[in-house]
């Protein structure tokens, strides 16, 4: 039930970020008007305004506008990815941290990110460790396109979970043996 709710949250975060990415791409297309394309190809002329020379209202060239659009799309993708980890990871995940690049428009765009996650076993409680590792794995694989590092964390969670299952089986076997000894 908890994992299903966490997956719902991750899907919701991903859907919101997909809308932002689509809007950024649409804005990129809207920014390139036919008049700007022809003016840019003919080069600047005396008496032309910035938009007639192929620059936008912010004074950015077409190449710079393309770079800003790419940075906006990357920013949305990075934020969506890291928010998915944080949303599904719940109490075991930290807040996302980002690496930024300043675009030609002077704005900072997230180009990388990370979310710390506690993948350590719960001391002396294999059942709790099993539940925790299920959440850790789900958080690691929550983004639409998990990275190699994400897959490595999921693999670690699987290994920790397998160990906890073995530990739990041992504890239960000892408990059964003790209960049997007390009957005799």
Q: Is 115 helix (H, G, I), strand (E, B) or coil?
A: coil
Q: Does 34 have pLDDT greater than 80?
A: no
32, with CB counted inside 10 A (0-12, 13-18, 19+), is middle
Q: Lowest-confidence range among 45-49, 61-65, 133-137? A: 45-49
Q: Which helix (H) or strand (E) holds 97?
A: strand 97-102
pLDDT attached to residue 5:
52
Q: Which two tokens stand for residue 10?
A: 């991750």
Q: Does the global pTM surpass 0.85?
A: no
Q: Which two tokens stand for residue 119?
A: 């993948």
User: If you average pLDDT over every residue of the chain, what do you get?
Assistant: 80
Rounded mean pLDDT, 39-64: 59
Rounded mean pLDDT, 8-30: 51
Residue 137 CA to residue 176 CA, distance in Å, equals: 31
pLDDT attached to residue 180:
83
Backbone angles phi, psi at 69, to 5 degrees: -60, -40
Q: What is the largest CA-CA distance in the chain?
A: 105
- What confidence category does residue 58 fall into, taking pLDDT thresholds of 50, 70 and 90? confident
pLDDT attached to residue 6:
52
Over residues 129-155, the pLDDT tens digits come to 999 999 999 999 999 999 999 999 999
Residue 46 CA to residue 3 CA, distance in Å, equals: 64
Backbone angles phi, psi at 175, to 5 degrees: -65, -40
- Percent of the chain topping pLDDT 90: 61
Nearest to 64 by CA among 103, 30, 12, 26: 103
Over residues 72-108, the pLDDT tens digits come to 999 999 999 999 999 999 999 999 999 999 999 999 9
Residue 88 CA to residue 135 CA, distance in Å, equals: 7
DSSP conformation letters of 98-140: EEEEE-TTS-EEEEEEE--B--PPPTT-HHHHHHHHHHHHHHH
Q: Does 171 have pLDDT greater than 80?
A: yes
pLDDT attached to residue 51:
46
Residue 46 CA to residue 106 CA, distance in Å, equals: 28
């Amino acid at each position: 039930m908890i994992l299903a709710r966490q997956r719902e949250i991750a899907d919701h975060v991903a859907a919101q970020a997909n809308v932002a990415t689509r809007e950024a791409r649409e804005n990129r297309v809207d920014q390139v008007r036919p008049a700007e394309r022809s003016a840019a190809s003919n080069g600047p002329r005396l008496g032309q305004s910035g938009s007639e020379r192929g620059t936008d209202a912010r004074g950015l060239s077409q190449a710079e506008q393309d770079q800003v659009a790419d940075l906006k799309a990357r920013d949305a993708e990075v934020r969506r990815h890291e928010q998915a980890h944080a949303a599904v990871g719940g109490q075991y995940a930290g807040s996302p941290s980002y690496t930024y690049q300043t675009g030609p428009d002077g704005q900072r765009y997230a180009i990388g990110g990370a979310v710390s996650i506690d993948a350590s076993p719960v001391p002396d409680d294999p059942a709790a460790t099993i539940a925790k590792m299920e959440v850790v794995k789900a958080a690691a694989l929550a983004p639409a396109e998990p990275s190699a590092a994400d897959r490595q964390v999921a693999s670690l969670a699987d290994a920790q979970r397998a160990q906890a299952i073995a530990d739990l089986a041992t504890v239960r076997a000892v408990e059964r043996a003790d209960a049997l000894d007390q009957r005799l």
